[in-house]
């Protein structure tokens, strides 16, 4: 289950990052008119999606670890973003309050997936 979620999230991050470069979807550095984006922001999402796909290919443990690491990273981005407001994060990643709320929501989802065991209710496989 976790590997499948890793593939889905990898695809979503790749798609979101790529769409950040598409005129019409992104106008005046605004993705869908809400989120601030720049080249670094888009490339960060594309790279993250690629790592999700690689982790998913490596197995459940790697996928779970990536959800945990990436969830913590997004939580840190959200805290920094809320603190900075509409300023650039680390001087290279565009940010506004909607980005910060988006990063906080992503952090929550990624951390839940990374730390909650989704297969608890399943019976152990028969080892005969």
Q: Is residue 107 in some structural domain?
A: yes
pLDDT digits (tens, 9 = 90+) for 1-57: 899 999 999 999 999 999 989 988 988 888 888 888 889 989 999 999 999 999 999
Q: Please, how many CA atoms are within 13 Å of residue 41, restricted to the half-sphere of its CB? A: 23
Q: Is residue 122 in some structural domain?
A: no
Q: Which of 73-77's residues contact partners 24+ apart within 8 Å by CB, and which partners?
A: 74/103, 74/104, 74/106, 74/107, 74/110, 75/103, 75/104, 75/107, 75/111, 77/103, 77/107
pLDDT digits (tens, 9 = 90+) for 58-107: 999 999 999 999 999 999 999 999 999 889 899 899 999 999 999 999 99
Q: What is the DSSP string of 48-75?
A: HHHHHHHHHHH-HHHHHHHHHHHHHHHH
Is residue 20 within 8 A of residue 80, CB to CB? The reply is: no
The residue range of the domain holding 74 is 2-115
pLDDT digits (tens, 9 = 90+) for 79-90: 999 999 889 899
Q: Looking at residue 117, what is its pLDDT?
A: 76
pLDDT digits (tens, 9 = 90+) for 27-43: 888 888 888 888 998 99
Tokens read off for 4: 């499948």
pLDDT greater than 50 at residue 123: no
Total structural domains in the chain? Answer: 1
Closest CA to 17 of 37, 36, 43: 43
């Amino acid at each position: 289950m976790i590997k499948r979620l890793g593939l889905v999230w990898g695809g979503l991050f790749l798609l979101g990052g790529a769409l950040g470069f598409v005129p019409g979807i992104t106008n005046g550095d605004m993705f869908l008119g809400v989120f601030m984006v720049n080249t670094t922001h888009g490339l960060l999402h594309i790279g993250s999606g690629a790592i999700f796909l690689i982790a998913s290919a490596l197995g459940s443990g790697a996928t779970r670890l990536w959800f945990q690491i990436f969830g913590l990273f997004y939580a840190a981005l959200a805290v920094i973003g809320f603190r900075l407001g509409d300023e650039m994060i680390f001087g290279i990643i565009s940010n506004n309050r909607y980005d910060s709320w988006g990063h906080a929501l992503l952090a929550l989802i990624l951390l839940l997936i990374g730390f909650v065991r989704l297969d608890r209710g399943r019976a152990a496989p028969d080892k005969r």
